[in-house]
Amino acid sequence: MKHWILALAMGCSMIAPAFAWDLWEDFKGVGIENGRVVDYSDDRAVTTSEGQSYGMFFALVDGDKESFASLLKWTEDNLSSGDITKELPSWLWGRSGSNWIILDTNNAVDSDMWIAYCLLEAGRLWNDPSYTQKGQKMLELLKEQVRDVDNLGKVLLPGRVGFDKGDSVKLNPSYYPLFILKRFALEDSYWNEVFDGSLRVLLRSAPAGISPDWATFSKNGELLPVDDIDNTIGSYNSIRVYLWAGMMSPRDPSYKTLREHFAPMVALTEKLNMPPEKVNVNTLEVNQAAGDGFGACLLEYLGESKTADFIRTVLENTPIEKNNYYRNVLALYGLGFDQGLFAFDRDGRLYFPKAQQTQAQSKESQSS
Protein backbone atom coordinates (compact mmCIF):
# COMPACT_ATOMS: atom_id res chain seq x y z
CA MET A 1 0.00 0.00 0.00
CA LYS A 2 1.34 3.46 -0.88
CA HIS A 3 2.46 5.47 2.13
CA TRP A 4 0.04 8.29 1.35
CA ILE A 5 -2.86 5.87 0.98
CA LEU A 6 -1.91 4.48 4.36
CA ALA A 7 -1.92 8.01 5.75
CA LEU A 8 -5.38 8.48 4.32
CA ALA A 9 -6.59 5.27 5.87
CA MET A 10 -5.25 6.43 9.23
CA GLY A 11 -7.07 9.72 8.83
CA CYS A 12 -3.92 11.86 8.84
CA SER A 13 -4.76 15.53 8.32
CA MET A 14 -1.69 17.12 9.86
CA ILE A 15 -0.69 20.37 8.21
CA ALA A 16 2.69 20.33 6.49
CA PRO A 17 4.45 22.58 3.98
CA ALA A 18 3.65 21.71 0.40
CA PHE A 19 6.24 19.78 -1.60
CA ALA A 20 7.92 21.46 -4.59
CA TRP A 21 5.92 20.80 -7.74
CA ASP A 22 7.83 21.06 -11.01
CA LEU A 23 4.75 20.30 -13.10
CA TRP A 24 2.99 23.33 -11.65
CA GLU A 25 5.95 25.52 -12.58
CA ASP A 26 5.78 24.14 -16.13
CA PHE A 27 2.06 24.87 -16.28
CA LYS A 28 2.54 28.42 -15.05
CA GLY A 29 5.20 28.96 -17.67
CA VAL A 30 2.95 28.16 -20.62
CA GLY A 31 -0.61 28.51 -19.35
CA ILE A 32 -0.92 31.56 -17.09
CA GLU A 33 -0.69 35.23 -18.05
CA ASN A 34 -1.02 37.99 -15.47
CA GLY A 35 -3.24 35.98 -13.17
CA ARG A 36 -5.40 34.25 -15.76
CA VAL A 37 -5.26 30.65 -16.93
CA VAL A 38 -5.46 30.71 -20.72
CA ASP A 39 -6.94 27.98 -22.91
CA TYR A 40 -4.98 28.45 -26.12
CA SER A 41 -6.76 25.57 -27.82
CA ASP A 42 -9.60 28.06 -28.38
CA ASP A 43 -8.87 30.72 -31.03
CA ARG A 44 -10.32 33.33 -28.67
CA ALA A 45 -7.63 32.55 -26.05
CA VAL A 46 -10.38 32.07 -23.49
CA THR A 47 -10.22 31.95 -19.75
CA THR A 48 -12.84 29.96 -17.85
CA SER A 49 -13.80 30.07 -14.20
CA GLU A 50 -12.87 26.38 -14.26
CA GLY A 51 -9.31 27.18 -15.25
CA GLN A 52 -9.05 29.86 -12.57
CA SER A 53 -10.33 27.49 -9.90
CA TYR A 54 -7.96 24.70 -10.91
CA GLY A 55 -5.04 27.15 -10.98
CA MET A 56 -5.91 28.32 -7.48
CA PHE A 57 -5.96 24.74 -6.25
CA PHE A 58 -2.57 23.92 -7.78
CA ALA A 59 -1.12 27.10 -6.25
CA LEU A 60 -2.57 26.08 -2.89
CA VAL A 61 -0.95 22.64 -3.12
CA ASP A 62 2.40 24.21 -4.04
CA GLY A 63 2.20 26.79 -1.30
CA ASP A 64 2.44 29.44 -4.02
CA LYS A 65 0.75 32.32 -2.25
CA GLU A 66 1.69 34.90 -4.87
CA SER A 67 0.08 32.96 -7.74
CA PHE A 68 -2.95 32.17 -5.60
CA ALA A 69 -3.54 35.83 -4.84
CA SER A 70 -2.97 36.83 -8.47
CA LEU A 71 -5.43 34.22 -9.79
CA LEU A 72 -8.05 35.25 -7.24
CA LYS A 73 -7.66 38.94 -8.02
CA TRP A 74 -8.00 38.42 -11.76
CA THR A 75 -11.08 36.27 -11.21
CA GLU A 76 -12.76 38.83 -8.97
CA ASP A 77 -11.87 41.80 -11.16
CA ASN A 78 -12.86 40.24 -14.48
CA LEU A 79 -15.47 37.57 -13.75
CA SER A 80 -17.19 38.76 -10.54
CA SER A 81 -17.53 42.54 -11.00
CA GLY A 82 -14.81 43.06 -8.42
CA ASP A 83 -16.25 41.05 -5.52
CA ILE A 84 -16.58 37.28 -5.52
CA THR A 85 -18.48 37.38 -2.22
CA LYS A 86 -21.36 39.16 -3.95
CA GLU A 87 -21.32 37.69 -7.45
CA LEU A 88 -20.32 34.19 -8.54
CA PRO A 89 -17.89 34.28 -11.48
CA SER A 90 -19.09 34.26 -15.07
CA TRP A 91 -17.70 31.11 -16.61
CA LEU A 92 -16.29 32.36 -19.94
CA TRP A 93 -14.06 35.32 -20.82
CA GLY A 94 -12.06 35.93 -23.97
CA ARG A 95 -11.56 37.79 -27.20
CA SER A 96 -14.50 39.02 -29.25
CA GLY A 97 -13.24 40.90 -32.27
CA SER A 98 -10.84 43.47 -30.87
CA ASN A 99 -12.34 43.38 -27.38
CA TRP A 100 -11.65 41.23 -24.34
CA ILE A 101 -14.94 40.65 -22.55
CA ILE A 102 -17.16 38.19 -20.69
CA LEU A 103 -18.48 35.90 -23.41
CA ASP A 104 -21.10 34.14 -21.26
CA THR A 105 -22.45 35.54 -18.01
CA ASN A 106 -23.71 32.19 -16.70
CA ASN A 107 -21.67 30.63 -13.91
CA ALA A 108 -20.25 27.10 -13.59
CA VAL A 109 -21.04 25.74 -10.15
CA ASP A 110 -18.16 23.26 -10.04
CA SER A 111 -15.69 26.11 -10.49
CA ASP A 112 -17.50 28.08 -7.81
CA MET A 113 -17.19 25.10 -5.49
CA TRP A 114 -13.46 24.72 -6.16
CA ILE A 115 -12.83 28.44 -5.59
CA ALA A 116 -14.79 28.44 -2.33
CA TYR A 117 -12.91 25.32 -1.25
CA CYS A 118 -9.54 26.87 -2.08
CA LEU A 119 -10.41 30.00 -0.12
CA LEU A 120 -11.47 28.02 2.95
CA GLU A 121 -8.37 25.85 2.85
CA ALA A 122 -6.04 28.78 2.16
CA GLY A 123 -7.53 30.45 5.21
CA ARG A 124 -6.91 27.37 7.31
CA LEU A 125 -3.48 26.35 5.98
CA TRP A 126 -2.05 29.86 5.71
CA ASN A 127 -3.83 31.28 8.76
CA ASP A 128 -5.46 34.01 6.71
CA PRO A 129 -8.95 34.92 7.96
CA SER A 130 -9.66 37.09 4.92
CA TYR A 131 -9.63 34.02 2.69
CA THR A 132 -11.82 32.11 5.14
CA GLN A 133 -14.39 34.91 5.17
CA LYS A 134 -14.52 35.05 1.38
CA GLY A 135 -15.03 31.30 1.22
CA GLN A 136 -17.84 31.39 3.77
CA LYS A 137 -19.63 34.15 1.88
CA MET A 138 -19.34 32.16 -1.34
CA LEU A 139 -21.08 29.27 0.40
CA GLU A 140 -24.07 31.50 1.00
CA LEU A 141 -24.18 32.39 -2.70
CA LEU A 142 -23.92 28.72 -3.62
CA LYS A 143 -26.94 27.88 -1.48
CA GLU A 144 -29.05 29.88 -3.92
CA GLN A 145 -28.26 27.28 -6.59
CA VAL A 146 -29.38 24.28 -4.56
CA ARG A 147 -32.64 22.60 -5.53
CA ASP A 148 -34.47 20.00 -3.46
CA VAL A 149 -35.60 17.23 -5.80
CA ASP A 150 -38.07 14.65 -4.47
CA ASN A 151 -36.45 11.24 -3.85
CA LEU A 152 -33.05 12.63 -4.85
CA GLY A 153 -32.38 15.31 -2.27
CA LYS A 154 -30.57 18.61 -2.36
CA VAL A 155 -28.44 19.10 -5.48
CA LEU A 156 -26.53 22.01 -6.98
CA LEU A 157 -27.62 23.21 -10.39
CA PRO A 158 -24.73 23.48 -12.88
CA GLY A 159 -25.37 27.19 -13.36
CA ARG A 160 -27.78 30.05 -12.74
CA VAL A 161 -29.58 29.74 -16.05
CA GLY A 162 -30.85 26.88 -18.18
CA PHE A 163 -30.83 23.83 -15.92
CA ASP A 164 -34.01 24.04 -13.84
CA LYS A 165 -36.84 23.23 -16.27
CA GLY A 166 -39.58 23.17 -13.63
CA ASP A 167 -40.56 19.56 -14.28
CA SER A 168 -36.93 18.38 -14.52
CA VAL A 169 -33.35 19.35 -13.73
CA LYS A 170 -30.30 18.82 -15.93
CA LEU A 171 -27.22 18.00 -13.86
CA ASN A 172 -23.55 17.38 -14.51
CA PRO A 173 -22.17 14.49 -12.41
CA SER A 174 -18.59 15.74 -12.85
CA TYR A 175 -19.54 18.89 -10.94
CA TYR A 176 -19.75 17.00 -7.62
CA PRO A 177 -16.36 16.37 -5.96
CA LEU A 178 -17.79 14.94 -2.76
CA PHE A 179 -14.76 15.79 -0.60
CA ILE A 180 -15.44 19.46 -1.30
CA LEU A 181 -18.95 19.11 0.09
CA LYS A 182 -17.54 17.39 3.17
CA ARG A 183 -15.26 20.37 3.71
CA PHE A 184 -18.20 22.75 3.27
CA ALA A 185 -20.06 20.81 5.95
CA LEU A 186 -17.35 21.72 8.46
CA GLU A 187 -18.46 25.33 7.97
CA ASP A 188 -22.21 24.64 7.79
CA SER A 189 -23.99 21.31 8.36
CA TYR A 190 -26.43 22.29 5.60
CA TRP A 191 -23.95 20.82 3.11
CA ASN A 192 -24.28 17.31 4.52
CA GLU A 193 -27.64 17.04 2.78
CA VAL A 194 -26.12 18.31 -0.47
CA PHE A 195 -23.44 15.64 -0.12
CA ASP A 196 -26.14 12.95 0.19
CA GLY A 197 -28.07 14.26 -2.81
CA SER A 198 -24.91 14.52 -4.90
CA LEU A 199 -23.92 10.95 -4.09
CA ARG A 200 -27.35 9.80 -5.27
CA VAL A 201 -26.83 11.70 -8.52
CA LEU A 202 -23.48 10.00 -9.11
CA LEU A 203 -24.94 6.54 -8.55
CA ARG A 204 -28.33 6.94 -10.26
CA SER A 205 -26.97 8.72 -13.32
CA ALA A 206 -24.70 5.74 -14.07
CA PRO A 207 -26.84 2.58 -13.75
CA ALA A 208 -24.36 0.59 -15.88
CA GLY A 209 -21.31 1.97 -14.04
CA ILE A 210 -20.43 4.53 -16.73
CA SER A 211 -21.07 8.17 -15.92
CA PRO A 212 -22.71 10.36 -18.59
CA ASP A 213 -21.54 13.89 -19.32
CA TRP A 214 -24.99 15.15 -18.31
CA ALA A 215 -28.02 13.59 -16.61
CA THR A 216 -31.64 14.76 -16.56
CA PHE A 217 -33.84 13.93 -13.58
CA SER A 218 -37.60 14.38 -13.26
CA LYS A 219 -39.10 16.43 -10.44
CA ASN A 220 -39.66 13.07 -8.71
CA GLY A 221 -35.96 12.20 -8.84
CA GLU A 222 -36.16 9.65 -11.66
CA LEU A 223 -33.39 9.48 -14.27
CA LEU A 224 -35.01 10.37 -17.58
CA PRO A 225 -34.02 8.39 -20.71
CA VAL A 226 -33.09 11.44 -22.78
CA ASP A 227 -31.67 10.50 -26.19
CA ASP A 228 -29.49 13.53 -26.89
CA ILE A 229 -25.73 13.02 -26.93
CA ASP A 230 -25.19 14.89 -23.65
CA ASN A 231 -27.17 12.31 -21.71
CA THR A 232 -26.06 9.16 -23.54
CA ILE A 233 -22.30 9.68 -23.88
CA GLY A 234 -19.63 9.72 -21.19
CA SER A 235 -16.61 11.68 -22.34
CA TYR A 236 -14.81 14.97 -21.69
CA ASN A 237 -17.02 16.05 -18.80
CA SER A 238 -17.66 12.78 -17.05
CA ILE A 239 -14.04 11.61 -17.04
CA ARG A 240 -13.63 13.84 -14.00
CA VAL A 241 -16.23 11.83 -12.08
CA TYR A 242 -13.68 9.02 -11.67
CA LEU A 243 -10.89 11.48 -10.87
CA TRP A 244 -12.79 13.10 -8.00
CA ALA A 245 -14.18 9.80 -6.70
CA GLY A 246 -10.72 8.24 -6.66
CA MET A 247 -9.38 11.11 -4.56
CA MET A 248 -11.83 10.57 -1.72
CA SER A 249 -10.62 9.30 1.61
CA PRO A 250 -11.05 5.50 1.90
CA ARG A 251 -12.38 6.21 5.39
CA ASP A 252 -15.50 7.68 3.80
CA PRO A 253 -18.00 4.82 3.23
CA SER A 254 -19.00 6.32 -0.12
CA TYR A 255 -15.45 5.79 -1.42
CA LYS A 256 -15.94 2.02 -1.54
CA THR A 257 -19.49 2.38 -2.88
CA LEU A 258 -18.33 4.49 -5.80
CA ARG A 259 -15.26 2.37 -6.50
CA GLU A 260 -17.43 -0.73 -6.84
CA HIS A 261 -20.06 1.13 -8.85
CA PHE A 262 -17.58 2.39 -11.43
CA ALA A 263 -15.81 -0.95 -11.89
CA PRO A 264 -17.09 -1.19 -15.52
CA MET A 265 -15.08 1.93 -16.45
CA VAL A 266 -11.99 0.42 -14.86
CA ALA A 267 -12.53 -2.74 -16.92
CA LEU A 268 -12.86 -0.75 -20.15
CA THR A 269 -9.68 1.15 -19.31
CA GLU A 270 -7.73 -2.04 -18.68
CA LYS A 271 -9.00 -3.48 -21.95
CA LEU A 272 -7.90 -0.42 -23.97
CA ASN A 273 -4.82 0.40 -21.85
CA MET A 274 -6.31 3.90 -21.58
CA PRO A 275 -9.82 5.10 -20.74
CA PRO A 276 -12.15 5.30 -23.73
CA GLU A 277 -12.65 8.74 -25.23
CA LYS A 278 -16.41 8.27 -25.59
CA VAL A 279 -18.68 5.61 -24.12
CA ASN A 280 -22.37 5.07 -24.81
CA VAL A 281 -23.68 4.72 -21.26
CA ASN A 282 -26.53 2.45 -22.40
CA THR A 283 -24.73 0.03 -24.73
CA LEU A 284 -21.15 0.48 -23.38
CA GLU A 285 -19.99 0.90 -26.98
CA VAL A 286 -16.73 2.85 -27.18
CA ASN A 287 -15.17 4.79 -30.03
CA GLN A 288 -11.43 4.70 -29.26
CA ALA A 289 -8.86 5.02 -26.52
CA ALA A 290 -8.40 8.54 -25.20
CA GLY A 291 -5.19 10.40 -24.44
CA ASP A 292 -3.15 10.29 -21.28
CA GLY A 293 -5.09 13.16 -19.67
CA PHE A 294 -8.04 10.81 -19.42
CA GLY A 295 -5.66 8.16 -18.10
CA ALA A 296 -4.69 10.47 -15.24
CA CYS A 297 -8.31 10.38 -14.08
CA LEU A 298 -8.33 6.60 -13.61
CA LEU A 299 -4.92 6.12 -11.98
CA GLU A 300 -6.23 5.67 -8.45
CA TYR A 301 -8.83 3.12 -9.47
CA LEU A 302 -6.23 1.15 -11.43
CA GLY A 303 -3.86 0.83 -8.50
CA GLU A 304 -0.52 -0.84 -9.26
CA SER A 305 -1.68 -2.62 -12.41
CA LYS A 306 0.24 -2.79 -15.68
CA THR A 307 -2.27 -0.38 -17.19
CA ALA A 308 -1.62 2.13 -14.41
CA ASP A 309 2.13 1.77 -14.86
CA PHE A 310 1.75 2.40 -18.59
CA ILE A 311 -0.37 5.51 -18.00
CA ARG A 312 2.10 6.84 -15.42
CA THR A 313 4.97 6.36 -17.84
CA VAL A 314 3.17 8.22 -20.62
CA LEU A 315 2.12 11.04 -18.31
CA GLU A 316 5.57 11.49 -16.81
CA ASN A 317 7.20 11.63 -20.26
CA THR A 318 4.72 13.98 -21.93
CA PRO A 319 5.54 17.68 -21.49
CA ILE A 320 3.11 20.43 -20.58
CA GLU A 321 2.28 22.15 -23.87
CA LYS A 322 0.73 25.55 -24.42
CA ASN A 323 -2.19 24.39 -26.58
CA ASN A 324 -3.27 21.50 -24.38
CA TYR A 325 -5.03 23.14 -21.42
CA TYR A 326 -7.48 20.37 -20.49
CA ARG A 327 -4.94 17.57 -20.77
CA ASN A 328 -2.55 19.61 -18.66
CA VAL A 329 -4.93 20.22 -15.76
CA LEU A 330 -6.05 16.59 -15.68
CA ALA A 331 -2.39 15.53 -15.60
CA LEU A 332 -1.63 17.86 -12.69
CA TYR A 333 -4.56 16.53 -10.70
CA GLY A 334 -3.97 12.86 -11.49
CA LEU A 335 -0.20 12.78 -11.14
CA GLY A 336 -0.15 15.15 -8.18
CA PHE A 337 -2.51 12.94 -6.22
CA ASP A 338 -0.87 9.72 -7.39
CA GLN A 339 2.55 10.95 -6.28
CA GLY A 340 1.27 11.98 -2.86
CA LEU A 341 1.71 15.72 -3.32
CA PHE A 342 -1.80 16.22 -1.96
CA ALA A 343 -4.68 14.24 -0.52
CA PHE A 344 -7.98 14.82 1.28
CA ASP A 345 -8.92 13.54 4.71
CA ARG A 346 -12.32 12.16 5.65
CA ASP A 347 -13.70 15.66 6.19
CA GLY A 348 -12.32 16.99 2.92
CA ARG A 349 -9.37 18.89 4.37
CA LEU A 350 -6.27 19.12 2.23
CA TYR A 351 -2.96 17.67 3.37
CA PHE A 352 0.41 16.80 1.88
CA PRO A 353 1.50 13.17 2.34
CA LYS A 354 4.82 13.37 0.50
CA ALA A 355 5.92 16.48 2.36
CA GLN A 356 4.87 14.90 5.65
CA GLN A 357 6.83 11.76 4.83
CA THR A 358 9.89 13.84 3.99
CA GLN A 359 9.57 15.70 7.30
CA ALA A 360 9.25 12.44 9.22
CA GLN A 361 12.32 10.97 7.50
CA SER A 362 14.30 14.14 8.23
CA LYS A 363 13.38 14.03 11.90
CA GLU A 364 14.27 10.33 12.05
CA SER A 365 17.70 10.90 10.51
CA GLN A 366 18.40 13.80 12.88
CA SER A 367 17.56 11.69 15.91
CA SER A 368 19.65 8.68 14.84
User: Of 161, 171, 167, whose CA–CA distance to 213 is shortest?
Assistant: 171
Residues belonging to the active site: 50, 110
The number of helix segments (H) and strand segments (E) in the chain equals 16, 13
Give dist(CA 214, CA 232) in Å, integer.
8
Dihedral sign, CA of 67, 73, 78, 79? positive
Give dist(CA 114, CA 31) in Å, integer.
19
In which region does residue 15 sit, left (phi positive, over 0), alpha (psi from -120 to 50) or beta (all else)? Answer: beta
Give dist(CA 312, CA 305) in Å, integer.
11
Give dist(CA 196, CA 194) in Å, integer.
5
